[in-house]
Structure 1
Amino acid sequence: MDYRDWEILKELYNQKNLTKTARLLFITQPALTSRLKHMEEELGVKIVTRERRGVHFTPQGEYLVQSAEEALAHYQKIKENAQNMSNSESNKVVGTLRLGVSNFFANYELPHILKLFKRQYPHVEFKVITGWSRDVTQLIHSKDVHISFVRGDYGWRGLSKHQLFEETICVASKDEFEIMDLPRLPRIEYRGDYLLKSVIDHWWAENYAQAPFISIEVDQVDTCREMVINGLGYGILSSRVLSGIEDLSKVQLTDQEGKPILRRTWMYYHKESLEWNVVKAFVHFIENHDWTCSSAKIK
């Protein structure tokens, strides 16, 4: 089994059709059929069976397709690392940078950051994986990415980190409100990051004896914000989400000592990855970026 074999299995599984797969891989159908037969003989298993509407993968074939995904991803990672190491030896800032990025950061901050960085280093390419901050933290720990951008104070043991900015958490409403009246007021709830939800739930438990009145539940913070703007209820949102919106009544969440509850955004990376010029250049760029100007863009 070689790299081309894994590509064939992956594409055939997606297409379920020999003719279409051969065309997409720029080979003839007889050559594709011959290669499949060779794989089956080499492994001693039946990979696919032909049916009237295409091909069907056997259980062994299904397993090989899953292995193909892993093998191709591993090969790509090795290729990128080798290229980055080669470029480091020549002091060139060239290569592929793999980033793990929290959903909010990916939507509001990352596009502008990559545009500015690309102006300075036009030969750098990016592979970006987005998700909840907890999942993105795992990506950097497992070295599936070179750099992670994480909102919240997740575990960073063994990693280098740099704080980008911090923000308060606010109760926001279209209408004026008293903070003690929140349990009786309609709340727009959204499925946020686990750590943020824990912070908000802890604050609520310290201040109220009854559960909040959840009138609407949504999946995205942007949807929650728009519903708050349209007067459908109050939301508990980080201040960066509310930046640029002036006609809302806002009250910051504070702890028992009256200090604002803060949410921080971090850049995580492995110190040894700075040996690669592309990682070192990006880390240096982020450390010197003006995040105050960046936040002003959010509307």
Structure 2
Amino acid sequence: MDEKDWTALSVLLEEKNISRASERLYISQPALTYRLKNLEKEFGINLFYKIKGGIEWTSEGLYLAQYAEEMQEKLQKTKDYMLNMRDDVRGTLRLGVSSNFAQYKLPKILKEFSTLYPNVQFSVKTGWSTFIKGLLDSSSVQLGIMRGDYQWNGKKKLLHKERLFLISKNEVDIERLPELPFIQYNTDSSLKNLMTGWWNDRFNEPPSTTMDTDRQGTCKEMVKHDLGVAILPEICLRPSDNLYTYGLTYEDGTPVQRDTWLMYNESSLQLATVKHFVDFLNQHVDISVGL
């Protein structure tokens, strides 16, 4: 069993589907199946059995796949620490970043950091903050940038505060909001809870939802075409959108804000790549101010 086997098992553990796993591994499905069959022969077990739409792990197969994940993690840590023993800053910085932050702020940050430290490579995973939190918990990433307040026993630094805004194509009376067509979008639970909490604080009736979209960008385009109103974080808004924006406040006048946090384990600072990136965020990048 070698590193390629560990990788194959780890990806299959995530996908639970041989076809999707082979696509992620950039190998053919027969080649992946052949590798898995050899593992079954080596250990004298059945790794999984096929079900409709994918696979179901056997107890032995699940144990071996989890072992493969552990070995991958140990190998990566060994590589990180070996590179850290050199005088210059080099290695791979593994980041998990909330999708919106990754889209609107991360590219500039990584470009400036790579200019200072050209021997650092980046491995970036993006998604909803709940997904990023899981990556951080499993040590799949060294640093997590998440939107919303999550419990974390390690180091936690506030990076960014932003307001939520009601957006519309034409001027509206926010007190009549329940009467207006409302456009929703898929998002993580922390933002959903924030929007629902504000709505319930201000209104006794639910929104008149006329459209559910897959993402915030689609939602904003619908608003631009005057198909309804929506609530978006300010990180998504630009003057060029030519929309009316209304900063949300609770009944007591408190602004409705969402926080973005940098989270990591203190032990990760032993790696030069991680320490320099954290220092860079603290000293060189002004990302704490909203639009």
Q: Match for residue 81 of structure 2?
A: 85
- How far did residue 294 of structure 1 move? 9.2
Provide closer, same or farther for how the CA distance between residues 155 and 243 of structure 1 changes in structure 2, counting only shifts above 3 A. Answer: farther
What SS is found at the alignment partner of 1:211? coil
Provide closer, same or farther for how the CA distance between residues 74 and 294 of structure 1 changes in structure 2, counting only shifts above 3 A. Answer: farther
- CA–CA distance in 2 between the matches of 1:227 and 1:8? 41
- Counterpart among 208, 212, 228 of residue 213 in structure 1: 208
The residue type paired with residue 43 of structure 1 is: F
1:168-183 equivalences under 5 Å are 168-183=163-178
- How far did residue 92 of structure 1 move? 2.7
Question: After the TM superposition, which of the residue ranges 208-217 and 133-142 deviates more from structure 2?
Answer: 133-142
Q: Match for residue 111 of structure 1?
A: 107
Contact kept, 8 Å, 1:188 with 1:224, in 2: the verdict is yes
- How far did residue 21 of structure 1 move? 8.0
Unaligned runs of 5+ in 2: 13-17, 23-27, 49-54
Taking structure 2 as the reference length, the TM-score comes to 0.80
Q: Deviations over 1:57-85 (max 9, x none)?
A: 9976x964x66654554333222211222
Provide closer, same or farther for how the CA distance between residues 94 and 290 of structure 1 changes in structure 2, counting only shifts above 3 A. Answer: closer
What SS is found at the alignment partner of 2:164? strand
Q: Deviations over 1:250-285 (max 9, x none)?
A: 211112321211111111111121111111011111
Q: Match for residue 17 of structure 1?
A: 30
- CA–CA distance in 2 between the matches of 1:146 and 1:182? 43
- Counterpart among 227, 237, 244 of residue 239 in structure 2: 244
What SS is found at the alignment partner of 1:240? helix
Over the aligned positions, Cα root-mean-square deviation in angstroms equals 3.2
Unaligned runs of 5+ in 1: 23-31, 49-56
Contact kept, 8 Å, 2:165 with 2:234, in 1: the verdict is yes
- Counterpart among 259, 270, 275 of residue 254 in structure 2: 259
Contact kept, 8 Å, 2:109 with 2:285, in 1: the verdict is no
1:153 and 2:149 correspond? yes
Q: Deviations over 1:197-232 (max 9, x none)?
A: 111111111211111000111010111111112211
Q: Match for residue 227 of structure 1?
A: 222
Provide closer, same or farther for how the CA distance between residues 69 and 94 of structure 1 changes in structure 2, counting only shifts above 3 A. Answer: farther
- How far did residue 159 of structure 1 move? 1.7
What SS is found at the alignment partner of 2:156? strand
Q: Aligned pairs, how many?
A: 272
Contact kept, 8 Å, 1:109 with 1:294, in 2: the verdict is no
Contact kept, 8 Å, 2:46 with 2:60, in 1: the verdict is no
- How far did residue 240 of structure 1 move? 1.6
- How far did residue 134 of structure 1 move? 2.1
The residue type paired with residue 136 of structure 1 is: I
1:133 and 2:146 correspond? no
- CA–CA distance in 2 between the matches of 1:58 and 1:240? 41
